[in-house]
Amino acid sequence: MSPKSTGRAVGMPKGATALYRAYRLATRAVGPLAQRSAARKLRAGGVSHDRIAERAGRATLPRPEGRLAWFHAASVGESLAVLSLMERLRDRRPGLNLLITSGTATSAALLARRLPEGACHQFAPLDTPGAVRRFLDHWHPDAGIFVESELWPNMLVNARARGIGLALVNARLSEKSVAGWERRPDTARFVLGCFDLFITQNAQAAENLRRIGATPDRITQGVNLKSTSAPPPVDAAALALLRDRIGPQRPVWTAASTHPGEEEIVLDAHARLLVDHPGTLLILVPRHPDRADAVAALVAASGLRIARRSHEQPPGPDTQVYLADTLGEMGLWFSLAPIVFLGGSLLPIGGHNPFEPASFGAALLSGPHVVNFSETFEALAAKSGVITTPDAGSIAAQVSAWLADPAARETAARAARDFATRGQDALDEIAARLADRLLPEHGERDG
């Protein structure tokens, strides 16, 4: 382990602003309440009592010997986005131990299936002084790599005070967040000054960081890491069984990562589609499987015949909607359907990662609300790799058109797939920057 990362931070860090001091006091005061709230959410997700304690900074695994890189991500999308980067970083620093923290039960369940060999997951400590101190005392990482917009002041300030190298990767900040930080320029500079390196998703994110006080020579533009992540795994046996059940000639489309208020629109679209294509099967994949009963009730109310994956009900010849209400099988649903509608986009939710379905060779549809991936969708649309469908009528019309014209569907799918396969060189460059800046081969990192 790095000698710089072993000692405790003592006292208030130099340059701490009045606002940060107030934040530190407030988080100390609300710590017990925050822990109870976090515990309630994790219990609802089936997390054990011992693992819930990780949110208080109490580790449930030993710290491995040797250097340790700590990745911190908010939830599912951010966690999965950095898996390939974790492996590339270890390729450059053989023997490097990998730890990833996140805050949700769903992310923990998915990471348990997809973590690189030898990597481990813990729930992230709450951003309270006590939880952060306990976490850092146990793990004393050599590098901390935060993902997207994870700017937790106590984590960052205390890690920096211990000499831990820090980077923000896949960085992006919403305009609302930027405006908030601009009202607090001294505190923004203080918190952002903890980072040794910023690697942004795009030029706008780089400009936003400069606007709120990040040191310009620490900012570099990269790519959206979700474009470089490995496709989700596919259970070959399950895929073969479902293909046999569905049949080779039956039309199939998937509506993936849908949210409340979107399933009604998708089911309306499917009902319209069945008028001209009566045998078509819809695979409906709610973003959060714990909503499955509510979604099943919507299907029943629509008059469509349903089978549920979680109930081990295979889709039969009369099934019109197959409810894919399980975790960790997204690759299966993308493999089965040559047409994918990507949810989180019919309502102002922000959209979801289009790279995964594109990498499976699906022709893509999306609603118009994709602010979280605006640059990606713009570039994808410019390559004819996605079509915007804002309502049930347009979804039904486009799925129908592709079912009637397989050549047009394949052209759209090829455009999406070509777009999704870019970025591997960029991933190597990002791993190299992190290794050189935070984990030099010989000696300690600079400053």
Count other Cβ atoms within 10 Å, centred on residue 360: 23
* Three-state DSSP class for residue 100: strand
Which residues does 11 contact at the CB level (< 8 Å), separation at least 6?
none
Give me the amino acid identity at 162.
Answer: R
Catalytic residue among 54, 78, 150, 263: 78
β-bridge pairing 321-323 and 339-342: unpaired
Contact by Cβ (8 Å): 47, 130: no
Query: What distance in Å separates the CA atoms of residue 253 and residue 43, rounded to the nearest whole number?
Result: 34
- Rounded Cα gap, residues 234 and 232, in angstroms: 7
Q: Within a 13 Å sphere around the CA of 412, how many CA atoms are in the beta-carbon half?
A: 22
Q: Under 8 Å CB-to-CB from 263, ≥6 apart: which residues?
A: 255, 284, 286, 295, 298, 299
Torsion (CA) 133, 139, 140, 141 in degrees, nearest 10? -120
Residue with tokens 């699906």: 362
Nearest partner of 256 among 201, 183, 337, judged by Cα: 337
Q: Which helix (H) or strand (E) holds 172?
A: none
Q: Are residues 126 and 103 in contact, defined by beta-carbon separation less than 8 angstroms? A: no
How far apart, in whole angstroms, are the C-alpha atoms of residue 78 and residue 327? Answer: 16
Name the DSSP letter for residue 217: G
What does the alpha-carbon distance between residue 284 and residue 267 come to, in Å, rounded to a whole number? 9
> Do you know the residue count of the chain?
447
Both structure tokens of 216: 């310009």
Catalytic residue status for 78: yes
Spatial neighbors of 431 by CB under 8 A, at least 6 apart, are: 85, 88, 89, 91, 92
**Whether the Cβ atoms of residue 155 and residue 161 lie closer than 8 Å to each other:** no
What b/e sequence results for 205-215 when a residue is b if at least 16 CB atoms lie within 10 Å of its CB, and e otherwise? Answer: bbebbeebbbe
CA 318 to chain centre: 35
Neighbouring CB atoms inside 10 A of 55's CB total 25
For residue 146, give both structure tokens: 């935060």
Active site residues: 78
